[in-house]
Amino acid sequence: MKYIGIDIGGMTIKAGVVLEDGTILCKKTVETDANQEDVKIVKDIANLIDGLLKENGIEKCEIAGVGIGSPGSVYDEKGIIRYSCNINFKNTPIAKLLKDFTGIDNVKVSNDANCAALGETLFGAGKGAKNTVMLTLGTGVGTGIVVDGKLLTGNRSAGAEGGHITINLGGPTCGCGKKGHLEAYASATALMNQIEDAVKKHPDSLLAKQVAKEGLSGKVVFDCKEQGDKVAENVVKRYLKYVGIGLVNYANIFYPEVLIIGGGISNQGDNIVKPLQRYVSRNVYGAEYNPKIKVACATLKNDAGIVGAACLVM
């Protein structure tokens, strides 16, 4: 069977034809016209699907379903995107609209972080596990939770917003406007802020020199740490402790088999997995008696959204 996965982003919309084993047969991308009327955006998705199929000689009757991953608040069961802060979706019945535009009856939608978690669980870093939590570290902190092989999304799909657990009352302001949330400490945005603060305090450090030369990035701070720069080492150590606190909180509630780290930071591989594994193993409740929880980096990378969205209709 063949399925289509749609990954909606603020800049681009990606579509792929996915096989039952998670293999992507072909892909196509268009720019997101985020400020257009929502119906127009859905029509763009329908046109993207048509183009993808025609270019690759695939008949529409071969497609068993279309899954959609979207940022924002999504009501999975109703097929509605309630709201997305960067795209003009407001109570948009995207599943129904796409059915009407494409003639494909089996259309489902979920939050993009949920889709990534499902894809990684079935075909990526969590393959073989039934219980996982995925933490995506980007502009914000997205989470996806899989329990007994199924997404856990809460009442009317409004839950699983793990980036907004409070780890420090009265701490820095999160992207949502509240204070002290994990997102304000563990997102890639937060890491950039932490690097900037360190550079200002230590202008003669290797980190400061490399930031001036290469620009601000997570890669720079990890590279400087590997070169022995103590300022960079302290930034990385503190940042990973924040991530670790979040992981331990999720572990204590859900006790998954695998905790999966996604986002650009996951490209650091063992540089983050080893310290995070140690932190989780030492701090999770009942660690000496309970099964070990594995920490792993996402393996599907930029394809996680497409594969995970397709998993919604498999």
pLDDT, tens digit only, all 314 positions of the chain:
999 999 998 889 999 999 999 999 999 999 999 889 999 999 999 999 999 999 999 999 999 999 999 988 999 999 999 998 789 999 999 999 999 999 999 999 999 999 999 999 999 999 999 999 999 998 889 999 999 999 999 999 988 989 999 999 999 998 888 999 999 999 999 999 999 999 999 999 999 999 999 999 999 999 999 999 999 999 999 999 999 999 999 999 999 999 999 998 999 999 999 999 999 999 999 989 999 999 999 999 989 999 999 999 99
Are 75 and 160 members of one domain?
A: no
Are 86 and 137 members of one domain?
A: no
Are 63 and 169 members of one domain?
A: no
CB of 118 closer than 8 Å to CB of 127: no
Are 28 and 176 members of one domain?
A: no
* Percent composition of the chain: helix, strand, coil (DSSP 3-state, to 5): 45, 25, 30
Are 264 and 161 members of one domain?
A: yes
Are 53 and 189 members of one domain?
A: no
Read off the tokens for 122: 């079935």
Domain range for residue 15? Answer: 2-119+303-311
- As a whole number of angstroms, the distance between CA 100 and CA 168 comes to 47
Total count of domains within the chain: 2
| CATH number of residue 142's parent domain | 3.30.420.40
For residue 86, what pLDDT is reported? Answer: 80
Are 14 and 159 members of one domain?
A: no
Are 115 and 136 members of one domain?
A: no
Are 138 and 97 members of one domain?
A: no
For residue 247, what pLDDT is reported? Answer: 98
Are 177 and 81 members of one domain?
A: no
CB of 295 closer than 8 Å to CB of 247: yes
| Model confidence, pTM | 0.91
Are 218 and 98 members of one domain?
A: no
For residue 168, what pLDDT is reported? Answer: 94
For residue 85, what pLDDT is reported? Answer: 78
Read off the tokens for 120: 């990684």
Are 96 and 146 members of one domain?
A: no
192-200 contact pairs (CB < 8 A, 24+): 192/216, 192/217, 192/218, 194/235, 194/238, 194/239, 195/220, 195/221, 195/235, 198/231, 198/232, 198/234, 198/235
